[in-house]
Amino acid sequence: MHAPITYSEPGGRRSLLEERPTRPPIIGKIRPGIKVLTKAAREKPEAVKIHDRMLAQGQSFERMGLEISRATGIKTPLVPKNVPWFTCRGSDFANPAVAEEIVQRYGEDRGDGNGFRLWRFPVIFAFDDWLSNMPNQLVAWTQSGRQFFSEYGPDGRRYCKMYAPPVRDARANRAKRTWGGRTIILRQDDDIPDGICDPHMCPQYQDGNCNLSASFYFALPAISGLGLIEMPTTSIYVLQKAHAAMQTVALARGRLVGVKFWMSKQEVEISRIDDSGRAVRQMQWLITLDAEIDIAALLDGSDRRAPALEMATQAVAALEDEVQPTEQTPLQGDEATKLSQVVDATAAHQVPVDGDDLESQFEDLMVRLGLANQEGRAQFRIYASATFGRGWTKRDQDVRQLLGEMRTALTNPLAFREQIAAIAAEVAP
């Protein structure tokens, strides 16, 4: 008799999909610059014609380069060009309308002859781990994909990896099928015998064929889509500055999720080594991150974690513009009840609550609804008081209803903001 079939403990893998690393879905790509025709391509009328036509159609630079190469035989018809704006094209998005919405919402014409461009826009990161928001590695590319790439081992050392050559199946007379993706192995050849990634000894890096490859992954407020947006970069200066910005906010605030950063470009002077080995300096437009937060206020007392009741007090004060209790004015019975109701209401509407960071959860809703600026907060206070009456935070049913409306409004933040603005304009003297 066979033994009965039993099941393993809950919490393990349950699906073939869970055997592979999970990656956030990507709905599109915003590029940090543009590509222009090389000198050889500009001398070909056909290449210029194809470039101008596809540029007007909003086609991607990759597709444009392939089309020009097929028509003229030029291997590299386009080269990157550093510009002060970002490129957001419909061809880089699964839904081209999303790219158009981003440009229309956040683009501007600065009157410098460059037209309507995407110069600066808000981003919200999906992870508290900075490395998940901007993964990076050294990669050597070929026409068929990655040839070599760096990965860190458990010992903290950087290794050079590659895909294992396919194994031939003698019986089927073809390459052996592999499960779970191509097998990754250490690179071990005459150039890199020990598998250690050392750019100083790597011929691919020294020849300029292996370079830094990185990307930012983020969401944009008020932009719909089930996934994140990617922005690639190959600049170590950009990564260093972005890392410093994220670490500063994380140390002061305790997290990155829910913080609205602003992504823009700044022209700075950088140093590089030319082919002759001399250090030269040049101006370059670099991606920068900034956040509209009061670092001084966040750092004040950041060495202690405030209790949930104190954080809820700050959240209510931000909504109703009331005076916050201090150590000299302890909470009384009604105030404690009011704040307890806020905590209960937040949990009831399934807002993800970190017990010591309720302020961040309320702020997250305000950011996601596009109400985190000064005008939005003022209009929201008027709206809440006009809709539910003064002292609405003392009434449990009103708190629950308002939080429910805020959560529902996430499906159409623009309509919710327009509703608040209309009510605020009508009530205001």
Provide the residue range defining the domain that includes 91: 21-117
Q: Which two tokens stand for residue 168?
A: 């031939």
Question: Residue 206 has which token pair?
Answer: 């020294």
CA distance 13 to 22: 13
Sheet holding 260-273, edge to edge: 121-124, 260-273, 279-291
pLDDT of residue 265: 93
- Regarding whether 287 and 259 lie in a shared domain, the answer is yes
> Quick one: 314 and 294 in the same domain?
no
Give the phi and the psi of residue 163 in degrees, each rounded to 5.
Answer: -85, 140
Total-model pTM:
0.64
**Is position 5 within any domain?**
no
Residue 223 near residue 22, CB atoms below 8 Å = no
Residue 9 lies in a domain: no
Q: Is residue 228 part of a domain?
A: no
Write down which residue in 302, 318, 344 finishes a domain. 302
The two three-digit tokens of residue 301, written as one number: 């007392």
Q: Which residues contact 29 (CB under 8 A, 6 or more apart)?
A: 92, 93, 229, 230, 231, 232
Q: Are residues 333 and 405 in the same domain?
A: yes
358-368 vs 374-388: helix crossing angle, rounded to 10:
100
Within this chain, do residues 358 and 404 fall inside the same structural domain, yes or no?
yes
N- to C-terminal Cα separation, the chain: 85
Structure tokens at 379: 């209009």
Q: Taking Cα atoms as reference points, which of 258, 272, 259, 268 lies closest to residue 288?
A: 268
Q: What is the 3-state secondary structure (H, E, C) of the chain?
A: CCCCCCCCCCCCCCCHHHHCCCCCCEEEECECCEEEECHHHHCCHHHHHHHHHHHHHCCCHHHHHHHHHHHHCCCCCEEEECCCCEECCHHHECCHHHHHHHHHHHCEECCCCCCEEECCEEEECCCCCHHHHCCEEEEEEECCEEEEEEEECCCCCEEEEEECCCCEECCCCEECCCCCCCCEEECCCCCCCCCECCCCCCHHHHCCCEEEEEEEEEECCCCCCCCEEEEEECCHHHHHHHHHHHHHHHHHHCCCCCCEEEEEEEEEEEEEECCCCCEEEEEEEEEEEEECCCHHHHHCCCCCCCCHHHHHHHHHHHHHCCCCCCCCCCCCHHHHHHHHHHHHHHHHCCCCCCCCCHHHHHHHHHHHCCCCCHHHHHHHHHHHHHHHCCCHHHCHHHHHHHHHHHHHHCCCHHHHHHHHHHHHHHHCC
Low-confidence ranges of the chain (pLDDT < 70): 1-12, 295, 297-362, 392-397, 399-400, 427-429
Residue 12 placed within a domain: no
- Where a domain ends, among 254, 283, 302? 302
Contacts of 109 (CB under 8 A, 6+ apart): 115, 116, 117
Is residue 94, in this structure, part of any structural domain at all? yes
Are residues 202 and 113 part of one domain? no
Does 94 share its domain with 139? no
The answer on 310 and 264 residing in a single domain is no
Task: State whether 337 and 421 are in the same domain.
Answer: yes
Phi-psi region of 156 (alpha: psi -120 to 50; beta: other; left: phi over 0): left
**Do 93 and 145 reside in the same domain of the chain?**
no
- Asked, for residue 73, whether it belongs to a domain, the answer is yes
pLDDT digits (tens, 9 = 90+) for 353-387: 343 344 555 677 788 888 888 888 888 888 888 77
In sequence order, the 6+-apart residues with CB closer than 8 A to the CB of 243 are 130, 134
Q: Which of 63, 84, 117 is the last residue of a domain?
A: 117
Half-sphere exposure of 2 (CA within 13 A, CB side): 3
Q: How far is residue 303's CA from residue 301's CA, in Å, rounded to a whole number?
A: 5
User: What is residue 358's predicted lDDT score, i.e. its pLDDT?
Assistant: 42
Give the relative orientation of helices 374-388 and 396-409 as an angle to the nearest 10 degrees: 130
Q: Are residues 309 and 203 in the same domain?
A: no
Task: Give the pLDDT of residue 218.
Answer: 95
pLDDT in tens, 179-224: 877 889 999 999 999 999 999 999 999 998 999 999 999 999 989 8
Same domain? For 421 and 310 the reply is yes
14 belongs to a structural domain: no
Count how many domains the chain has: 4
pLDDT at 139: 95
In a domain, 421, yes or no: yes
> How far, in whole angstroms, is CA 33 from its chain's centroid?
17
The answer to whether residues 315 and 387 belong to one domain is: yes
What is the predicted pLDDT for the residue at 115? 79
